[in-house]
Chains A and B, each alone.
Chain A
Amino acid sequence: MGVRGAPSDAEVVARVLGGDREAFGLVVRRYEAGLLRFATRMLGSRDAAADAVAESLVRAYRHLASCREPARLRTWLYRIVANRCKSHLARRPVGDVSLDEAAPVADPTDNSAALERTEQLALVERALATLSPEKREAFVLKHVEGLSYEEMAAVTGERIPTLKMRVHRARESLLKLLEDHQ
């Protein structure tokens, strides 16, 4: 159920399906940050991720009636975005994950710690980009988005043992890559 005072996902879905189109804004506000982070980590580009998430949300709205479990709207949305990201990656040449060329622009209040953090993030993103899309997806869903293996199975359509194996391999690959850059 939702936070006290905030309608639950099921209530929002019912309102939208009942004709309150603007209520879909609640869905966007509730989940866009997580979906955008997930897509950014998958695609390596904030702009491509924003396009993928926006298109996915429009698609979700148009097919909202086919969301069989409105209470699990979050995993349904992740599934649509994950599929969009896979389509996007499939259109690219093999191994091409376009990390945004430009590093995040330094804020005037940036200090050396913030800059170091930016450099570390770029290093981690590069390491993440070397993983296969399947391992990257599993790792990000598990550790960055905090989904359970059951939720990940609903998002990806894969079996839990398969997802566990991917997450384990991704951890090992990432640790090795990060150690090499120490």
Chain B
Amino acid sequence: MNPLDPRIHEALDGEREASALPEELARAVRPLERAVALLAAHVPGPSLEGRVLAAIRAPAPRRGGRFVQWLVTPHSITFHVRPVWSVAFAAVVAVLTLFPTGHHGPDIGEREGIAQFVGRFPGARSVSVVGSFNDWRDGSIALEDIDHDGVWRATVVLPTGAYEYMFVVDGERFVPDHLADRLVADDFGRENSVVIVRPARR
């Protein structure tokens, strides 16, 4: 970008008589004059008077109301962080991720493990699991279908060992879990599923 001749700036700033500019300088500034003439044209549109007067006739929002309005209005927040702090923050996150200081979830003893029960029962009203871990008592371990996709799940902590179990659908239908670790015949001519619970802490 070449700087303009200072005489042009002086003329445009009213510090020099514009008519006294040499012709080549006057010619150089004409595109700018045409641009200004276009930009200075009236911007068409309806008057704002009605809108403004309607707003000022309405009661001014109370200070508390303005605060509430501020709270519920989206605001963009920009943080300007020195690179060294960004690196330090990333390092802290990495350490916490790679070397967790605690654990989340239920407390699990040394001789306990986690068993997950999952079954697909579209249209079922309720699903529970019964087995040797709860003396085949229905209702003590209920499965959930949170997203209503027909897949029911439950996660429980059990003492380590092998357990036979079945699903109970709608409180009356006993269904084995064919995805279990293995299936065994029970005393009534049916098949029970078997889950093996291993210690969660090694």
Residues in A lying within 8 Å of B, measured CB to CB: 21-22, 24-25, 28-29, 32-33, 36-37, 40-41, 46, 49-50, 53-54, 57-58, 61-62, 91, 104, 117, 120-121, 124-125, 127-128, 140, 143-144, 149, 164, 167-168, 171-176, 178-179, 182
Q: CB within 8 A of A50: which of B12, B34, B45? A: B45
- Tell me which residues across on chain B come within 8 A of A167, comparing CB atoms: 13
Chain B, interface residues (CB within 8 Å), range: 20 to 34
Is B42 at the interface (CB under 8 A from chain A)?
A: yes
Supposing A29-B49, A50-B48, A174-B32 touch, asked if A36 and B43 sit within 8 A by C-beta, the answer is: yes
User: Is there contact, CB below 8 Å, between A58 and B56?
Assistant: yes
User: Is there contact, CB below 8 Å, between B53 and A25?
Assistant: yes
User: Is there contact, CB below 8 Å, between B42 and A37?
Assistant: yes
Q: B83 to nearest A CB, angstroms? A: 19
In angstroms, Cα B1 to Cα A178, docked, is 12
In angstroms, Cα B29 to Cα A174, docked, is 11
User: Is there contact, CB below 8 Å, between B48 and A28?
Assistant: yes
User: Is there contact, CB below 8 Å, between B35 and A127?
Assistant: yes
Is B76 at the interface (CB under 8 A from chain A)?
A: yes
Supposing A171-B9, A179-B31 touch, asked if A53 and B48 sit within 8 A by C-beta, the answer is: yes
User: Is there contact, CB below 8 Å, between A58 and B52?
Assistant: yes
User: Is there contact, CB below 8 Å, between B38 and A120?
Assistant: yes
- Tell me which residues across on chain B come within 8 A of A61, comparing CB atoms: 52, 56
User: Is there contact, CB below 8 Å, between A32 and B49?
Assistant: yes
